[in-house]
Copies of this chain bind each other. A is one copy, B any other.
């Protein structure tokens, strides 16, 4: 089944609102194994909407419109669909009663244009609106299936999940399941990941795999079709094993809604460890990312933003003369910051971030040069030198992420 989504609304074309409904619907369709080949946005214009409907009918089996079911002058979707299919609109008595109730209850007059919301294309199945007044519709004509959905997200989403999804699953009556697994990687670009996995990507059949570049990381989605969940999981396990053998050094976790700081804070919680940090170029970003994770207060008591050299000495109780001698951008200073932030807060772990955020160079080092120190209990401090691309905020976020990844690897060793 080839699906196509048509979002109707001039406010979308003007960029006044974002087409989040299109994304939500596309994800639901992908989830149940229906391929979407096109999404179109068209204005509240019957002629152009008719042309788009006609094109969609020629190239797709499932045509889903979003928006234009409301009571105002420019809501014309169901009228246009009915005309295109040479049919008429009829009233849904239940929806009319609901409409009448609503206006009685809110003590407002029921104007005639409001009644249109209870009408649907003749012979369609009515899709109930649990959160509003305009009914949706599903009907088959011209060998295609047409679905009409309302635009307001609060009405649209429940109708998609509760009214549309079960009907589409029943229609596509596949006796197979579709299971996805998302793997998350840090410290490798999308193109290098794709190069390393090239054999698997080129020869993919089932499961399929696809890379996605996110900010500062890459995700890989494996999707298996099978007769049941156990078989799908087995297929995913086999493929993941081959992926991990190739790029496992950069892997840190699973799931679309996950991130590196969540994984690390949860490692710390599980191991009952506390972390602190002294941040120079990152200016508090690393600690603020820790604090974003629910439960952070059980592993993080606090730390330091030591932007100027004299504050590194004073807050962290480091010898100022030594700092001047070593320089701000140095292995020794990163190590001292890590050690002293740990000691000052009685944490098991301390990190020190120092380097050049740019745009100018510092101590003869170019922007992007960053030293990160990691002090773990009484082990010798580890300091790693990083070279990030030269953009101020990218450098800072990259440095914070790199600190999390160093900590992730250290905690993994302790498993």
Contacts and interface: CB of A to CB of B under 8 A. Distances in A.
Contacts of A71: 191
B36 A152 contact: no
A13 B22 CA distance: 9
A392 B294 contact: yes
Interface in A289-333: 290-292, 294, 296-297, 300-308, 310-312, 315
A191 B113 contact: yes
B191 A70 contact: yes
A324 to B, nearest CB: 16
A27 B40 contact: no
A111 B192 contact: yes
Contact of A387 (B41, B105, B281): B105
Given A15-B28, A30-B14, A304 B301 contact: no
| Number of copies of chain A assembled together | 2
A311 B307 contact: no
Contacts of A19: 18-19, 22-23, 39
A25 B41 CA distance: 13
Size category of the binding interface on chain A: 35 or more
Contacts of A307: 287, 291, 296-297, 300-302
Contacts of A302: 304-308, 311-312, 315
Contacts of A102: 389
Interface in A66-116: 70-73, 102, 105-109, 111, 113-114
Contacts of A37: 13, 42-43, 48
Given A18-B18, A40-B38, A48-B38, A288 B288 contact: yes
A213 B72 CA distance: 11
B359 A294 contact: yes
Contact of A12 (B24, B26, B310): B26
A129 interface: no
A225 to B, nearest CB: 15
- Please name the 4 residue pairs, one residue from A and one from B, whose CB atoms are nearest each other, closest first: A283-B291, A284-B284, A15-B27, A15-B26
Interface of A: 10-20, 22-30, 35-43, 48, 52, 55, 70-73, 102, 105-109, 111, 113-114, 131, 152, 154, 189-192, 194-195, 201, 210-213, 215, 221, 279, 281-288, 290-292, 294, 296-297, 300-308, 310-312, 315, 344-345, 357, 359, 366, 368, 387-393, 396
Contact of A152 (B43, B213, B292): B213
A191 B304 contact: no
A14 B41 contact: no
Contacts of A189: 108
B284 A296 contact: no
6 contacts: A15-B22, A19-B22, A73-B201, A111-B195, A152-B213, A284-B305
Contact of A303 (B13, B16, B284): B284
Which of A13, A26, A35, A312 has the most chain B CB atoms closer than 10 A to its own CB?
Answer: A13
Given A13-B36, A302-B307, A392 B292 contact: yes
A15 B30 contact: yes
Nearest to A201: B73
Given A102-B389, A111-B192, A281-B291, 18 more contacts: A11-B210, A15-B25, A15-B27, A15-B36, A18-B19, A19-B23, A22-B41, A37-B48, A38-B40, A72-B194, A73-B201, A105-B366, A154-B215, A284-B288, A291-B305, A301-B307, A301-B310, A302-B306
A219 B71 CA distance: 16
A107 B187 CA distance: 13
Which of A108, A154, A191 has the most chain B CB atoms closer than 10 A to its own CB?
Answer: A191
